[in-house]
Structure 1
């Protein structure tokens, strides 16, 4: 580890990261030659896989023409990508403000909501992560916000649906939806709808559990926001651009937000890029009034060139169809089968190429394998499970008491099955750690 690199979310002296020497497709390898099957897409962003030749060629071609240009002028790749995104977004979300990442996208989505409504307060879920910058970490509900508080963000949090650990002890997904929407409306009324600018919600909760919204929930959120004049922001930084088999995850539930934040999968992180897709009713407010915000690298041409190439590859190679079919028939079915044979698996849930295996000490009480927000010795069990996976050449996304499975969307059926075979051995280790 370089002594001059300061790492994110880490105690610096306790780190001993591997040194990655290269990557290709669904695999990467360290400087000793050890290979890892990437079941995390790094940080759930390398949707198109590592070192895709078409994306590399697009970046090289663009670099030979123009490497960077101010966002105050027009550029063909910037315009082309914005058009492609708008054409694939739901409803009248047809304007795109580009950023360099997801946290910045959230910052500007909130600013747009506040400018549009003239209000300041935001609603956000407890089980959420929206980014590490000022407003974004203030909106975040999970424990990573604790070390940054007070954030001075005008935010009120609510409980979203989580059928496996229902706050309302419901017995069906439908009951969970009804209870969650009743709770949300009560929060709106108690906070005063006239004070609330926007509600931000991950269409599928990502780092905090891969929580798939139960039937009717997102539609109910949309209805409440419409009724109370609240801007509905769908945070799709993690699940946009094919992760669950749709261009935007909200389309799987036929829901049209007012704003959509994106990043990660738009070009798989080959060049930093993010943005906000804006509905016409909000965008028109700034037709003759300046929008109070901007970024030096908004719509960076190298990032946009990579995004255009990525969408073209998605279309040509039928990647969305691949995610839907393989995600259900191979990955989802395989994980469910593993869940049935390992007592440490409390629940398997997910959609497309985005799944969570929730590990427990006791399947009856559903006590997590490690406590909530566990660190150090309290997190020893999950550390052991993680070590077991990596030692066998499988690289999962680990969060809390969960192994979250998110391979590149180009991962083949054979590679998925290979990963599942390794995971079967890893879950044997998890089983041995139950009390």
Structure 2
């Protein structure tokens, strides 16, 4: 009982009813246009004229519902006045592919709305107008009857026309019937509001094509955020490792070799500034702000990366071959991050000694490898600290998206090797 009365006490019921009744008023400007054919053929029977007018009126309302602007306005009004959670309509064009995320997902293909989807909004608009007229006229009749039954509140007898028969209502019964009519007005408001709320998600909600576009958009968003997580892990992880080693070196040689200590501190400043640029970009994207141009680290920045490692006291032996300058775009950025992660792991978990870095560009592939010593003392240096363990899985995911191959494991006596091969197309 209480559950049935509760909708009558909500303000949203009456704001929704107001929205429904406005549908009847908004359809009025189309009525004169619908009456023109009936006015031309005045010789037709009244029933034919009325039926023709209603048919043309419904057709005009449906045509208005085909406009995309109409759909957006109806969705916005339904959210505000009916309190129905409806998403904004989304375009069904093919979304752009995030860089470095591989081919676009199958769900992102352009999905044109079907004929049934196109007519969902016109059908909703027709039902909306029909409910507006039905509910509005019903509420007006009930309200007028409730006010008129008691004889203008003077206590005089009243007559009510029921099923074609005039019934005389006298005395207290007129007041009871008037009260019933007045109480039925909010019931009608709740009924039309509930009906339109039930119809809104089914006819104004996402169509099949829009659901595909929403799924593709969510998939691309997750792929972009995963890519940003990999970028942030590689950049910040490497910077913290190198800065920890450089700070330890600076502390040891501060008194004996101030110049070396200053060089280590300058290297810390440069590496942390680069990491801050990456962090600012990632946070801007995550906050959905207008981010600046994304910081790009490519194979062209590899010498700077190796110099920072040397300032940290690491012995790096690079071997570069092929036309590395012709490796461009996503592949060059991915190669830089892969080498950065491999070198970071060598600093964290290596046992000292030289770190061998090999980069070879061939006509059909880009080969990357990082080899470092392992054994007693591995992972106990100044650059070692607990890690999340996401480095190699992140590398494997990055390589998989680029259709490459990855090998990581022991390599000969007391060595660890990270080897990656990526398919490449050299630019002309």
Q: TM-score range by the shorter chain?
A: under 0.3
Higher RCO structure (Cα 8 Å, ≥6 apart):
1
In terms of fraction of residues, the more helix-rich structure is 2
Instruction: State TM-score, norm by structure 2.
Output: 0.19
Instruction: State TM-score, norm by structure 1.
Output: 0.19
